[in-house]
């Protein structure tokens, strides 16, 4: 059975585009035309849309009108700055009420302490009331939650109902994860998969690399066939979010970009 593909909107996020309009309506229409059945509008662009007078309810109607649905909502940062974190949680709750995503993607940006755990519980409770679950994305450069082992340990420690791990091919291949770590990850701890490729690194700056130099699946050096086989061997049949972050494609017309993403990812998950 083919996995549903989700169009992740981060490549044209207001977080990365500066003053350039992310054009969420255009991205929604482009994703549907390309063949995606799921979409992941990012919180930075959603906030920009609202700040400029747009209504989340209108975006929700537009998504429904294309016969797609919102699957993920990137991204929530959890840190020791409790005031900022709780403000961000409240903003994500408003977005989730309108868009009804299955998951909110989050990153734990600081070492795990009592404040971070309290914030994870607050987010889990508030979003859980809406039927939205937490999906923890580890990043190789973070102080603690930077690989599969530390993410699984956090899940065990916080015990938030429905929370799980995002397995992003980029972070898997550039972290210290091993194939054995991936094989040991139980199916029921996976929230969903994020999918992308990457050429050989040009620098040691992993943040710049991940934001600006990702490649379409099959156009980089990742062992994506083995990655997909490892995920499917667990019995995973859920959605796959296609998150291609690339400066070379960021200003491409949305229709052209969405079609390239879909056409490159589909063969791996058919």
pLDDT value for 94 = 98
Alpha-carbon span 240 to 190, nearest angstrom: 11
Residue 1's pLDDT band (boundaries 50, 70, 90)? confident
Residue 61's pLDDT band (boundaries 50, 70, 90)? very high
In the chain, the N- to C-terminal Cα span, in Å, equals: 7
**pLDDT, tens digit, 9 for 90 and up, residues 167-185:** 999 999 999 999 999 999 9
Alpha-carbon span 172 to 168, nearest angstrom: 6
Q: How many CA atoms, within 13 angstroms, populate the side-chain half-sphere of residue 252?
A: 17
| All domains in the chain, ordered by first residue | 5-269 (3.20.20.150)
Looking up tokens 């700055």 gives 81
- Which DSSP string corresponds to 131-192? T-EEEEEP-TTSSS--SHHHHHHHHHHH--TT-EEEEEHHHHHHSS--HHHHHHS-GGGEEE
pLDDT value for 9 = 98
Over its C-alpha atoms, the chain yields an Rg (Å, rounded) of: 17
DSSP-based three-state secondary structure for 102:
coil
Helices (H), the chain: 14-17, 24-34, 43-51, 56-65, 82-99, 114-128, 148-158, 169-174, 179-184, 206-212, 224-233, 254-265
Alpha-carbon span 192 to 23, nearest angstrom: 26
- Phi-psi region at 268: left, alpha or beta (left = phi > 0; alpha = psi -120 to 50): alpha
Residue 96's pLDDT band (boundaries 50, 70, 90)? very high
How many other CB atoms sit within 10 Å of the CB of residue 36? 27
Tokens of 155: 């899940």
Pairing of the two strands 190-195 and 164-168: parallel
Whether the CB-CB separation of 130 and 96 falls below 8 Å is answered with yes
pLDDT value for 203 = 96
**pLDDT, tens digit, 9 for 90 and up, residues 115-169:** 999 999 999 999 999 999 999 999 999 999 999 999 999 999 999 999 999 999 9
pLDDT value for 247 = 97
Whether the CB-CB separation of 164 and 133 falls below 8 Å is answered with yes
DSSP tag of 248: T
Alpha-carbon span 238 to 253, nearest angstrom: 29
**pLDDT, tens digit, 9 for 90 and up, residues 8-37:** 999 999 999 999 999 999 999 999 999 999
**pLDDT, tens digit, 9 for 90 and up, residues 215-258:** 999 999 999 999 999 999 999 999 999 999 999 999 999 999 99
Vertex 82 angle, CA 79 and 86, to 5°: 100
Percentage of the chain modeled with pLDDT above 90: 99
pLDDT value for 2 = 95
């Amino acid at each position: 059975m083919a996995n549903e593909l989700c169009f992740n909107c981060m490549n044209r996020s207001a977080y990365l585009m500066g003053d350039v309009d992310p054009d969420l309506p255009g991205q929604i229409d482009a994703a549907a035309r390309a063949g995606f059945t799921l979409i992941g509008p990012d919180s930075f662009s959603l906030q920009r849309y609202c700040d400029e007078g747009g209504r989340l309810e209108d975006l929700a109607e537009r998504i429904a009108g294309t016969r797609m649905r919102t699957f993920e909502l990137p991204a929530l940062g959890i840190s020791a700055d409790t005031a900022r974190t709780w403000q961000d949680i409240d903003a994500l709750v408003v977005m989730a009420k309108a868009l009804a995503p299955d998951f909110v993607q989050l990153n734990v940006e600081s070492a795990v302490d009592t404040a971070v755990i309290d914030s994870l519980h607050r987010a889990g409770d508030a979003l859980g009331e809406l039927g939205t679950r937490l999906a923890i994305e580890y990043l190789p450069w973070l102080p603690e939650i930077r690989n599969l082992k530390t993410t699984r340990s956090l899940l065990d420690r916080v015990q938030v109902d429905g929370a799980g791990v995002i397995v992003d091919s980029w972070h898997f291949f550039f972290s210290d994860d091993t194939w054995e770590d991936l094989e040991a990850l139980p199916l029921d701890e996976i929230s969903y998969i994020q999918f992308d490729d990457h050429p050989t690194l040009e620098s040691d700056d992993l943040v710049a690399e991940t934001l600006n130099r990702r490649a379409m699946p099959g156009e980089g050096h990742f062992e994506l066939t083995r990655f997909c086989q490892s995920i499917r061997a667990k019995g995973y049949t859920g959605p796959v979010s296609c998150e291609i972050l690339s400066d070379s494609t960021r200003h491409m017309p949305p229709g052209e970009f969405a079609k390239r993403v879909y056409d490159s990812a589909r063969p791996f998950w058919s």
